[in-house]
Structure 1
Amino acid sequence: MSGSRNLPMVSIIVSTLNNEGTIGECLKSIFELDYPQDLLEVIVVDGGSKDSTVTLAKNFPAKVMVKLSSAPEAYNYALKIAKGDIIGIIDADAKVERSWLKKLIVHLSDPKVAGASGTIKTWNRERALPRCIGYDIEYRYSRIKGEAKRVATMNLLLKRNVLEEIGGFNEALPTQYDTDLGVRITSRGYKIILDPSAKCYHFNRPTWRSYFKQQFQYGKNTLRLYLKIPRLIKGDAITDFSMNIQPILLFLSVIFALLGFFNNLFWIISAALIFILFGIFIF
């Protein structure tokens, strides 16, 4: 894919919801990509932000639309109007290096490769909690050697025809849809490549409250995903078994804590689950 005449049209989709603190840097990094601007389309789908996210997004030459939706619903909606043969997904709280797109797109010249993703670094690493979350993410991605069964959609390049072939994103999963997507892609014999030279910087949850809220949602949707595909619970290169059950334990501990108001036994169960959770986290 050398020379701009041989480069494909790329449509990058960004799903937003109350991302005023990061959307500016996110879109700035996209429009500064080392890629012909006439071959780059950026679509922002906002899920109903209460802050200035939409106003800030409109400062950039992107197609900005408001549609009350989850992230997978937003991606499927944008896919219908996107012009590109290559679809890029970048989170609203992430930014990419200038060479990100060109480093990833070369992998898609292989007919067996459906997608490519870059490695994930921490954007807000000056704070302790985001830095620790970042260490965990970087460790998980360091376990992948070239080919991955699945990757996070915070920085992902996909062939449009493959995405349409598998039916797009699973709208029944507000989170964990990326795992579901990877399984459906690779089960058809396609590959997903992780290129560590293509870097993405993610703004990790800055507070314990926001982090546990996120993990609670992960746990709920992880349970739904495992009921659909039980074999996933054994883990993979990104998430082994002990990592897999952490969000589930958090989700169940909260549920049992609430049930404890009706029967004290449930508080004991909740405390036991939290003890197990922190034991896994520490060791």
Structure 2
Amino acid sequence: MAQNTYPKVSIIVASYNNQDTIGECLQSILALDYPKECFEVIVMDGVSSDGTVKTAEQYPVKVVSIRLNCPAAYNYAFKIAAYPVLGFIDSDAKVESDWLKKLVPHLTEPQVAGVSGSIDTWNRDNLWARSIGYELKNRYRRIGKYTGRIATMNLLLKKSVIEVVGGWDEKLPSQYDTDFGFRMSEKGYKIAYEPDAICYHYNRPTLSAYYRQQLQYGKNTLKLYFKHGHLAKGDEITDVGMNIQPILLLAAAALFVVGVIPLLRLLWIGSATILLAMFVYFIYSAVKISVKFNDWSAMRLIVLYYVRSAAWFVGAVTTTLRYITGRRN
């Protein structure tokens, strides 16, 4: 690619209390094998209470600290970005030096709104994080050459398409990328997938941290399905099997509670059957991934699957109650 043909990119890093990872994240971006005059870096910080801003200010990047959720921060960055292509990298992620060079050629393809790279695990020494990474990597491997939506963890988007689509829905603190992808697809656009452009994500290292993350996903996934009901059928990244698990937990809990009545005690068998079926499915899925990646530490996914299902269940119940009581934000 000739020097004068490199598209100019504004790379957006949304952060909040990421002091442990923001430094390496920015170092990886500034070390990109890409002409320095062809990209800028904007850190959109949500008023972190730790040393995130102080660390970010040590680098030659623009730092904006304002109390906004992630989609609102992206909409803000859209207005101040200088270049026609926006890049998105999470503040708990880092990219290989050729990441940008491998992505930008796809932007010339017809009807391609953007392009994403693949995901690997940054903190592989932590067995929970490694297992989460295997599961996510396995889901990404189901993506073909193009997809309708993908996480903003490592993504390029044309600024002109973002404007046509209408930006990000600020009422969705998470799952805003799925919503954006759906609205983008309705306009006839698609996202290219380049598996050789690698991003390393710092996955949640403990069960409690993973539960808190998935709880937010559960809350906002239901909001997303209230907005776009047909998305509940799933896609190549979040399939219907994942979506149905919280419903199965609800059914098991309901049967158990109703079974407290002596005449309906047999319903406990139904509750136990559902939980057993989920357990068998989780074992099968964990074994399959363990074999695929030749690492039996991935059997921890059995626990992680239950944690995720429980978090999505609690999150969905919380959102439903807020809708019933009229508190939708």
Q: Fold-level match, TM-score > 0.5?
A: yes
**Counterpart position of 1:44:** 43
**Counterpart position of 1:281:** 282
What does the per-residue CA deviation read over 1:119-159, in whole Å, with 9 as the maximum and x for residues that have no partner? Answer: 00000011110011001001001111111121111000000
Distance, in Å, in 2 between the alignment partners of 1:57 and 1:273 is 48
**Cα 1:201–1:210, aligned 2, differ >3 Å: closer, same or farther?**
same
Percent identity for Structure 1 against Structure 2: 54
Distance, in Å, in 2 between the alignment partners of 1:188 and 1:168 is 13
**Counterpart position of 1:239:** 238
**Counterpart position of 2:20:** 21
**Cα 1:51–1:41, aligned 2, differ >3 Å: closer, same or farther?**
same
What does the per-residue CA deviation read over 1:151-175, in whole Å, with 9 as the maximum and x for residues that have no partner? Answer: 1110000000000111111111001
Query: How far off its partner does 1:245 sit?
Result: 3.5
TM-score in terms of structure 1 length:
0.89
Q: Are 1:242 and 1:280, in contact at CA under 8 Å, matched by a contact in 2?
A: no
Distance, in Å, in 1 between the alignment partners of 2:240 and 2:155 is 24
What does the per-residue CA deviation read over 1:217-269, in whole Å, with 9 as the maximum and x for residues that have no partner? Answer: 1111111111111111111111210122346778x69xx89xx9xxx89xx99
SS of structure 2 residue aligned to 1:218: helix
**Counterpart position of 1:214:** 213
Q: Which runs of 4+ in 1 moved over 3 A?
A: 245-250, 268-283
Aligned length: 272
**Counterpart position of 2:161:** 162
Distance, in Å, in 2 between the alignment partners of 1:125 and 1:9 is 33
Amino acid at match of 1:123: W
SS of structure 1 residue aligned to 2:26: helix
What does the per-residue CA deviation read over 1:20-49, in whole Å, with 9 as the maximum and x for residues that have no partner? Answer: 110001000100111111111100011011
Distance, in Å, in 2 between the alignment partners of 1:180 and 1:111 is 22
Query: How far off its partner does 1:279 sit?
Result: 5.4
SS of structure 1 residue aligned to 2:187: coil
Distance, in Å, in 2 between the alignment partners of 1:8 and 1:210 is 38
**Counterpart position of 2:297:** none
TM-score in terms of structure 2 length:
0.77
**Counterpart position of 2:322:** none
Q: Are 1:89 and 1:157, in contact at CA under 8 Å, matched by a contact in 2?
A: yes
Distance, in Å, in 2 between the alignment partners of 1:53 and 1:165 is 33
Q: Are 1:130 and 1:206, in contact at CA under 8 Å, matched by a contact in 2?
A: yes
The structure in which a higher percent of residues are helix is 2
Query: How far off its partner does 1:14 sit?
Result: 0.6
Distance, in Å, in 1 between the alignment partners of 2:157 and 2:217 is 23
Distance, in Å, in 2 between the alignment partners of 1:75 and 1:102 is 23
Distance, in Å, in 2 between the alignment partners of 1:47 and 1:276 is 42
Matched, 1:96 2:106: no
**Cα 1:184–1:68, aligned 2, differ >3 Å: closer, same or farther?**
same
Larger radius of gyration: 2
Structure 1, unaligned runs of 5 or more: none
Distance, in Å, in 1 between the alignment partners of 2:193 and 2:222 is 26
Structure 2, unaligned runs of 5 or more: 262-267, 285-329
